[in-house]
């Protein structure tokens, strides 16, 4: 394994770092305060090719490796977790099933426009009584000769109020197994509920979605009946790797701000970074951040080389998300009262980092899965 970035990977990192520094960071606080979907910035990310990075050139993507994708995610999350979350949803969960199982019509009408951001997608899995336990979903599609009738309720759906289409996890009336369906947002019977007010990631708008007798063409079944769980397993490791990258991004922002503050904040006649207590905090944060990066890129390397990565992706996501929350906490202690002021971004990092604890599996679920990898 080569720990050096290739020229292409360095170029990707530099491109998204420049974009984040120039376009994202200056408006991140305003996005958070307004709690509105950043469509203009979202479109700019699309023009950078982010949404198609994971997909081959044959379908309009750029065929980048997962490490390059993670580098871009880290930079976006360093500027705004809200923007990074929305863009990551578009580039992975919202579009994968269309790419993997959609026919020519589905790809033409929804997948291809999603690659440049002209159509916005989301995924609908979670329900009021089914979060970690997706086997308990109640959404059902009745099977007819040439169509399906979908009924159900989903919650915690990222970008739902702005979405043009959904990839919906459902059961069918002749199978207890899961299936995925393409559901355009404008179809009769689709209704988006009110926004869910959140602690963090506030510009990544979230709400419930209701399906009432929604008639879907037969070709809007993505894959085969009962094949949804298998399809989800195909990208589960990537979802966890991506979430780890989001965590590394926000942790990087908090760490960099804390170090800079420690250099310029003077107390008792010298910068506080000269005091041993602050040096120890910075060192502890650096160890966590660098370890999280290495675990993230190892899992991404395994994915790029098509090697088993279930355990490694779970470890990367678990460690990075927990470290991100700890780093944001410790960084806020360095800024002390200024971290409590809304005019400083530290409070936003602290709030946004919580988001990474849930996506891709809670820490508790991941620990159980990791233990299972060892035969327990």
Q: Do residues 212 and 42 make contact, with C-beta atoms less than 8 angstroms apart?
A: no
Number of domains in the chain: 3
Select from 175, 196, 226 the last residue of a domain: 226
Determine which helix (DSSP H) or strand (DSSP E) holds 216, and give its type and residue range.
strand 206-217
Assign residue 151 the CATH number of its domain: 2.40.110.10
User: Which pLDDT does position 175 carry in this prediction?
Assistant: 76
Q: 3-class DSSP state for residue 171?
A: strand
Q: Taking Cα atoms as reference points, which of 141, 144, 152 lies closest to residue 226?
A: 141
* Domain-embedded: residue 17: yes
What CATH number should be reported for the domain holding residue 57? 1.10.540.10
Tell me if 191 sits within 8 A of 69, measured CB to CB.
Answer: no
Q: Is residue 2 a part of any domain in this protein? A: no
CB 197 within 8 A of CB 152: no
- In terms of DSSP bridges, do strands 206-217 and 190-195 run parallel, antiparallel, or are they unpaired? antiparallel
Residues 17 and 103 in one domain: yes
CA 175 to chain centre: 30
Residues β-bridged to residue 222: 180
Pairing type for strands 165-172 and 121-124 reads parallel
Rounded (10°) CA dihedral 317, 323, 325, 328? -140
Other beta carbons within 10 Å of 2: 6
Looking at the chain, the number of H-run helices and the number of E-run strands are 13, 10
Locus of tokens 């009745």: 142
| Contact between residue 82 and residue 202 where contact means Cβ atoms under 8 Å apart | yes
Is there a single domain that holds both residue 199 and residue 100? no
Residue 1 included in any domain? no
Contact 51, 90 (CB under 8 A): yes
**Do residues 263 and 291 both lie within one domain?**
yes
Angle between helices 66-79 and 7-19 (to 10 degrees): 20
**Reported pTM:** 0.96
Residue 57 and residue 95 in one domain: yes
**Residues 235 and 338 placed together within one structural domain of the fold:** yes
Q: Are residues 259 and 352 in the same domain?
A: yes
Name the token pair of 92. Answer: 């992975």
Q: Same domain for 328 and 353?
A: yes
Using the 8-state DSSP alphabet, how is residue 269 labeled? T
Q: Give the angle 260-265-267 at the CA atoms, nearest 5°.
A: 150
- Residue 190 host element (H or E): strand 190-195
| DSSP-assigned states of every residue in 101-146 | H--HHHIIIIIHHHHTTSS-EEEE--BTTBSS-GGG---EEEE-SS
Together in a domain, 14 and 131: no
Residue finishing a domain among 93, 115, 137: 115
What CATH number has the domain bearing residue 295? 1.20.140.10
Give the range of the structural domain holding residue 95, as residue numbers without chain letter: 7-115
Q: Are residues 188 and 306 in the same domain?
A: no
User: One digit per residue, pLDDT tens: the chain, 376 residues?
Assistant: 778 999 999 999 999 999 999 999 999 999 999 999 999 999 999 999 999 999 999 999 999 999 999 999 999 999 999 999 999 999 999 999 999 999 999 999 999 999 999 999 999 999 999 988 888 999 999 999 999 999 999 999 999 999 999 999 999 987 788 999 999 999 999 999 989 999 999 999 999 999 999 999 999 999 999 999 888 999 999 999 999 999 999 999 999 999 999 999 999 999 999 999 999 999 999 999 999 999 999 999 999 999 999 999 999 999 999 999 999 999 999 999 999 999 999 999 999 999 999 989 999 999 999 999 999 9
**Strand pairing partners for 216?**
148
The residues that bridge with 217 in the sheet, in sequence order, are 147
């Amino acid at each position: 394994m080569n720990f050096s970035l290739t020229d292409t990977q360095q170029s990707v990192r530099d491109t998204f770092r420049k974009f984040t520094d120039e376009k994202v960071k200056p408006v991140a606080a305003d996005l958070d305060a307004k709690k509105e979907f950043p469509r203009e910035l979202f479109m700019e990310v699309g023009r950078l090719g982010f949404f198609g990075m994971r997909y081959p050139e044959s379908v309009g993507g750029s065929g980048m490796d997962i490490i390059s994708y993670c580098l871009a995610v880290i930079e976006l999350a360093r500027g705004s977790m809200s923007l990074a979350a929305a863009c990551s949803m578009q580039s992975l969960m919202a579009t994968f099933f269309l790419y993997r199982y959609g026919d020519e019509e589905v790809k033409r009408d929804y997948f291809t426009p999603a690659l440049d951001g002209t159509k916005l997608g989301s995924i609908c899995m979670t329900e009021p009584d089914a979060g970690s336990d997706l086997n308990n979903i109640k959404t059902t599609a009745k099977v007819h000769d040439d169509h399906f009738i979908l009924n159900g309720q989903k919650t915690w759906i990222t970008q739902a109020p702005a979405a043009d289409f959904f990839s919906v996890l459902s059961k069918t009336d002749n199978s207890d197994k899961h299936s995925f369906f393409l559901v355009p947002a404008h179809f009769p019977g689709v209704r988006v509920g009110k926004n869910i007010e959140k602690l963090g990631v506030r510009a990544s708008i979230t709400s419930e979605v209701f399906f009432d007798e929604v008639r879907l063409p037969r070709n809007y079944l993505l894959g085969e009946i009962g094949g949804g769980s298998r399809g989800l397993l195909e990208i589960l490791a990537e979802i966890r790797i991506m979430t780890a990258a989001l965590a590394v991004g926000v942790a990087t922002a908090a760490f960099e701000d804390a170090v800079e503050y420690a250099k310029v904040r003077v107390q008792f006649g010298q910068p506080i970074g000269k005091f041993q207590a602050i040096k120890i905090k910075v060192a502890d944060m650096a160890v966590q951040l660098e370890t999280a990066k290495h675990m993230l890129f190892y899992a991404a390397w395994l994915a790029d080389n098509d090697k088993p990565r279930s355990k490694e992706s779970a470890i990367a996501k678990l460690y990075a998300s927990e470290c991100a929350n700890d780093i944001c906490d410790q960084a806020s202690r360095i800024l002390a009262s200024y971290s409590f002021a809304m005019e400083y971004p530290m409070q936003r990092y602290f709030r946004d980092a919580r988001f990474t604890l849930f996506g891709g599996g809670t820490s508790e679920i991941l620990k159980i899965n990791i233990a299972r990898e060892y035969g327990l």
